[in-house]
Amino acid sequence: MTTSPSHPFRGVFPAITTPFNADGSVDHGFLREHARWMMAAGCDGMIPLGSLGETNTLEHDEKMAVLETLVDALDGKPVIPGIASLSTAGGVRLAQAARDVGCGGLMALPPYVYTSDWREMKAHMAALVAATELPVILYNNPGAYRTDFLAPQIAELAGEHANLRGVKESSGDVRRVTALRAILPESVDILVGLDDAIVEGVAAGATGWIAGLINAYPAESVRLFELARDGRAMEAAELYRWFLPLLRLDVVNKFVQLIKFVQEETGHGSARVRAPRLELTDAEKAEARAVIEAASGRVPVGVGA
């Protein structure tokens, strides 16, 4: 465990998937079991209701039920939900409701659909950060949300809001980590948001990882982060070479379907998704299955299933 009160966002945080029953409802029994399984592998908290959690397909009451289940399951370890909404007011309401059910932090996303200039995006993010006293991660993913928060802009926001304590950097450019580390206060942690950039991101100064394939491979993910963090370059490189074909499933358009399919194939979940997403085609499943089977035949020594 690497989190502390002064650095609540250091370590490994699964972007946990949302499991669904055959009738499309949320499978809370599996959600609880799955979260505890990943925490037992050495994770430092849980991030539900993100992109991987299909938050845009969940109604407000479903989101709150997910948070209540996870807060109870983690028994004091931080639950850090994604806060995303079409409107600023909706995001503020969700942030406050998350606080009220016991979440330990928040991950603030830019608004769905609408994108604009820094003045408007800053106002939106500032409202989410100021909605509660909880520590907040700013989520920068220009590829997905069409809003790109640059290092000076994030530093401006952090200078005005002491509870902005983390940045999830998902631009795909590890130079952003270097730029952020050079300009942000030491109290603000930088977390890698793309699975196939974790070793490079840590080398550039990141101190956390919000991970996707961890939903199927928690022990391997935690081990990789620890090796990179501790400067054990040769061991990290060996594990990374094995893991990269799987980690690259996190950075394509159907990453939600693919990661859930990997969970199902490895016995750690279901491939069910909610529309507008559809489950993978047979050809896509065959391609993903080949990646899984190749990896399963050469698991590095020292990491478990």
Residues that constitute the known binding site: 210
Residue 46 Cα distances to 158, 212, 220, angstroms: 23, 11, 17
Q: To which H or E segment does residue 64 belong?
A: helix 60-74
The residue from 63, 77, 139, 254 that is catalytic is: 139
Kindly give the interhelix angle for 28-40 and 60-74, rounded to the nearest 10 degrees.
40
Report the alpha-carbon distance of residue 245 to residue 265 in Å, rounded.
Answer: 16
Q: Which of 77, 168, 254, 260 is catalytic?
A: 168
3-state helix, strand, coil in the chain (%, to 5): 50, 10, 40
- Is 254 a known active-site residue? no
Question: Would you state the structure tokens that stand for residue 82, as one six-digit string?
Answer: 């994604």
CA angle 35, 39, 45 (to 5 degrees): 85
In a 13 Å sphere around the CA of 264, the CA atoms on its Cβ side amount to 17
Q: Is 139 a catalytic residue?
A: yes
Q: Which segments are annotated as binding site for pyruvate?
A: 210
CB count in 10 Å sphere of residue 133: 9
Q: Which parts of the chain are beta strand (E)?
A: 11-14, 82-83, 106-108, 136-140, 164-169, 189-192, 208-211
- Written as six digits, the tokens of 165 are 């304590």
Cβ count near 150 (within 10 Å): 16
In the chain, what is the straight-line distance between the N-terminal and C-terminal CA atoms, in Å? 20
Catalytic residues: 139, 168
